[in-house]
Amino acid sequence: MTTLDQIETTPRVALRGDSSVPVTREDLNEIHPFRVNVPEAELTELRRRINATRWSERETVTDASQGVQLATIQKLARYWATEYDWRKIEAKLNAVPQFITEIDGLDIHFIHVRSKHENALPLIVTHGWPSSIIHQLKIVDPLTNPTAHGASAADAFHLVMPSLPGYGYSGKPATPGWDPARIARAWVVLMKRVYHPGRCPRQHHALLADKHCDFFGPSLLGEQAHVFQSQRRLSPGGRERLS
């Protein structure tokens, strides 16, 4: 099992992601700014491949009993090829501060938005799977700037929103083993790296919530998990701290 000490001393690697030239780190704890910039040629090629899809025959029934219907898939393909605006999503991502840091041998991409309110609490928000941090952009302003949404400054948070390993612009693991426990240990390192030793609540997927209970220790102020159908799989200690 990888320990927290082992995570802190992971050998340095070159940055991956959106950079055209890899950056070699001199400091294991270094955090690098990140922006999304997908070349237009890649988007053009993606649309070409979608439009060149060779479709199977139509199903022999009028319902979905034989699987997703051909018309549904073709409608989705048309949307991706002609209507979906990647540049709009790209602009939304680049409107918030993004960073890359290496933890346990893997590049971790994350959003870090500080509240203007001095006493805001650090909060790590973890998406589930399949999902991405794009789905969480809508909560950034209400949590970091609550006074603009009818709440008080005491409700403010500084946000850290990482992409899970293998998702978004985080690195893709080359070997198995990035289970909820290992991800939770990496998030401990991330929060310490961004905020140094401190106390922070978290909002995340329920399976990670259980592991956070184990690894954050006394730095845990509280947590909120939004997927509770998996609660039966949590440890007794995790259920107690989530209740």
The domain spanning residue 221 has which CATH number?
3.40.50.1820
Higher-scoring residue by pLDDT: 119, 17: 119
How high is the pLDDT of residue 222?
A: 53
The last residue of a domain, from among 67, 86, 105: 86
Same domain, residue pair 44 and 28: no
pLDDT of residue 224: 52
Buried b (16+ CB within 10 A) or exposed e, 47-81: eeebeeeeeeeeeeeeeeeeeebeeeeeeeeeeeb
Query: Where does a domain end: 52, 86, 120?
Result: 86
In a domain, 91, yes or no: no
Q: How far apart are CA 130 and CA 172, in angstroms?
A: 15
Q: What's the pLDDT band for 153 if we cut at 50, 70, 90?
A: very high
Q: Which residues pair with 147 in a beta bridge?
A: none
Q: Residue range 208-235: average pLDDT? A: 48
Say whether both 199 and 149 belong to one domain. Answer: yes
27, 120: one domain: yes
What is the pTM assigned to this prediction?
0.73
223 and 138 within one domain: yes
CA terminus-to-terminus distance, the chain: 28
Query: How does pLDDT run across 111-130, given as a tens digit for each residue?
Result: 999 999 988 998 899 988 78
Strand-strand pairing, 200-204 and 220-225: parallel
Task: Quote the Cα angle for 148-153-159, to 5°.
Answer: 85
25 within domain boundaries: yes
Using the predicted structure, report yes or no on whether residue 146 has a pLDDT greater than 50: yes
Q: Are residues 127 and 222 in the same domain?
A: yes
Q: What pLDDT, on the 0 to 100 scale, is given for residue 217?
A: 52
Domain housing 8: 4-34+96-242
On whether both 104 and 212 belong to a single domain, the answer is: yes
The answer to whether the CB of 146 falls within 8 A of the CB of 206 is no
Q: Which residues pair with 203 in a beta bridge?
A: 125, 224
Considering the domain architecture, whether residues 170 and 116 belong to the same structural domain is answered as yes
pLDDT for 42 beyond 60: yes
Residue 107 lies in a domain: yes
Question: Which is more confident, 237 or 76?
Answer: 76
Q: How confident is the model at residue 131 (pLDDT cuts 50, 70, 90)?
A: confident
Region 3-13: what's the mean pLDDT? 32
Q: With respect to residue 49, please indicate whether it lies within any of the assigned structural domains.
A: yes
Q: For the segment 164-218, what is each residue's pLDDT rounded down to a tens digit?
A: 999 999 999 999 999 989 999 999 999 989 876 544 444 444 344 444 444 455 5
Total domains in the chain come to 2
With 0-12 / 13-18 / 19 or more C-beta atoms within 10 angstroms meaning exposed / middle / buried, residue 13 is middle
